[in-house]
Structure 1
Amino acid sequence: MSLLAPLRDLAIDDEIAAAIDTIADAESNNINALGYDQWGFRRETAKIYYSLGKLIFSYFRPQVHGIDNLPTGRMLVVPNHSGQLPFDAVSVSIACLLHGKPPRLVRAMAERWVPTLPFVNIAFSRSGVVLGDPINCRNLLEADQGILVFPEGVRGSGKTWWKRYQLAHFGRGFMRLALQTHSPIVPVGIVGAEESIISIADIKPLA
């Protein structure tokens, strides 16, 4: 038994653990002997990171409306994006997990540079986040998974205060995948993330 096991157990929220167990038990055929699925998700590790996500969710105290409209099976959850850091993605993911009936674990599509981030890449992968590649997205949808995609990408999260609540230009690849895989699109409007981390300037030479 690991010496860190008691600390790990303390870090895991009971509600989060129950929801993830419900999902993982239903998909046990897709999980190998080591506890991983083919995209890197691991039940016990995900419980820790989703428990942290619940703390973020509780801090921002979002009001969730229309969660009953989530379909079963494959779907594309498509919100607007803002706020510099992905607190909006955390909030949507926790809402789907804890308020969805049944609980839903949505697979967030990450930018291509995310796998280059030490520690973060592993944490995201173990929590179900996958590289935002069309092939990954199609395979997940064909496996009846829920996908969380922000079509605005970094253009949305990097918006300055002066462009708040204005949609940035976004790609239409998610629409094509939805049509090809016969997946319903669930549009989501997020209000308030624009004020979570305010950006007043976009100085590209310093990036």
Structure 2
Amino acid sequence: MKSNKQRRHEIKQRRWARMEAQREAALRPAMPHGALAADVQRLELIHGAPFWLPGYYVDISYRCCDCGAACVWTAQDQKWWYEQVQGSLYASASRCKDCRARHRAWRQSHCDAAEMAALRALWRARPDASARARVHAALQSKAPDLRSLAAQALAWWWVQFGDKPAHAQLEALSLERSWAPRIDRILRRQVELRPGVHRVCRVVAYPRVTMGAALSGH
């Protein structure tokens, strides 16, 4: 049986908890019309206590990075991604449904793994017509990894063999931010090919110049 002191303490604790909940509700920004409330407690359990947690979800408009179609990342899909799938709080939708399905199928395909190995094998040999055709097809692919390996093949052909068509094709490319530094290191001879097509970095200090200057310096 609880004493009067214990009961008064429990009443105070419940009162303080209720006041704290009311204070947090007052400080929380009001949800806009059509927003979906986030389960903040669940997000804290999943992600810990980061600097920022969403209090609600709203529909977000974006363009597919592959086909350029106008899309909407719905609040319901965001809630599913952050709370059910437990995805990163800093991730967002970038592809439409069809492009996302194609990208997922590509990543799960063994044929693309074989194609990536074939592109790496082209780095060592002097290019012929079939090698150029394979690289050209890879540069037109929607898969960024294939485009990256094809661009690296062009760079290796130029560095190793002084291949002028590869030089011209590489100079005309619009290098993507994610793999442009790799191409830059190849052109500056900061990496070299070893058995097994492994790349070994050699640390060299150099002033930053444009990609065009690096190409012309062969």
Aligning the two structures, in what range does the TM-score lie when normalised by the shorter sequence?
under 0.3
Select the structure that is richer in helix.
2
Q: Based on CA coordinates, which of the two structures has the bigger radius of gyration?
A: 2
TM-score (norm 2): 0.23
Structure with larger RCO (C-alpha < 8 A, sep 6+): 1
